Chain A
Amino acid sequence: DTAVSQTPKYLVTQMGNDKSIKCEQNLGHDTMYWYKQDSKKFLKIMFSYNNKELIINETVPNRFSPKSPDKAHLNLHINSLELGDSAVYFCASSQGFLGAYGYTFGSGTRLTVV
């Protein structure tokens, strides 16, 4: 069983469209994250949720809206896609919040905006 699963794996879309990426973890972890990896491989946190509650919201355009219906799911919706949104988006989860623990990453979603 895949521990952290993301769908879709690839997403090619036109500028201006709205798209969603879904993430689910079956590890029983309390905290989930979205990271963006740009073309230079730099991993930058976007959001973090702990038990469905938003705890980290970096300076991300408000076109990006995360939603966590329960602690096993964290979805990312992106409105009005721009060329600069092209990147690999990784979902991740970790065991705890107050103490730092290692992340388990999903396999990533490669978003290409044309």
Chain B
Amino acid sequence: GENVEQHPSTLSVQEGDSAVIKCTYSDSASNYFPWYKQELGKRPQLIIDIRSNVGEKKDQRIAVTLNKTAKHFSLHITETQPEDSAVYFCAASYPAYGNKLVFGAGTILRVKS
């Protein structure tokens, strides 16, 4: 079956520190891994994604890494700022299930100033 586990469920960091959120997926056929940020009362918004033919992708302070062998992928946020505070969701596509995205349970990130 399809499953995405996400850790930690909550994460508090000091402004300027780095934050790392990790996810694992169950299907080796998964080939697309997006990350979404959801601010309170708002919609989830795509912040970065990675495909299975790439091991790492970076966009300014945000980077994502993918280990296909271990079925792990991670979000790295450097130099965190208070506006990074939100709920972050990882997701993985499942080709055998209509290519739907299955989401992790989310990580509440708090950046303390």
Contact = CB atoms under 8 A, between A and B. Distances in A.
Interface residues of B, number: 23
A100 B32 contact: yes
Given A100-B31, A100-B93, A48 B42 contact: no
Nearest to A58: B100
Interface residues of A, number: 23
Interface stretch (B58-66, B76-84, B101-109): B101-109
B82 to A, nearest CB: 20
A101 B32 contact: yes
Contact of A42 (B49, B95, B98, B103): B103
Given A42-B105, A102-B34, A97 B99 contact: yes
Given A43-B44, A105-B44, A100 B101 contact: yes
Of the candidates A40, A45, A104, A106, the one having the most CB atoms from chain B within 10 angstroms of its own CB is A45
A114 interface: no
Interface of A: 33, 40-45, 48, 55-56, 90, 97-108
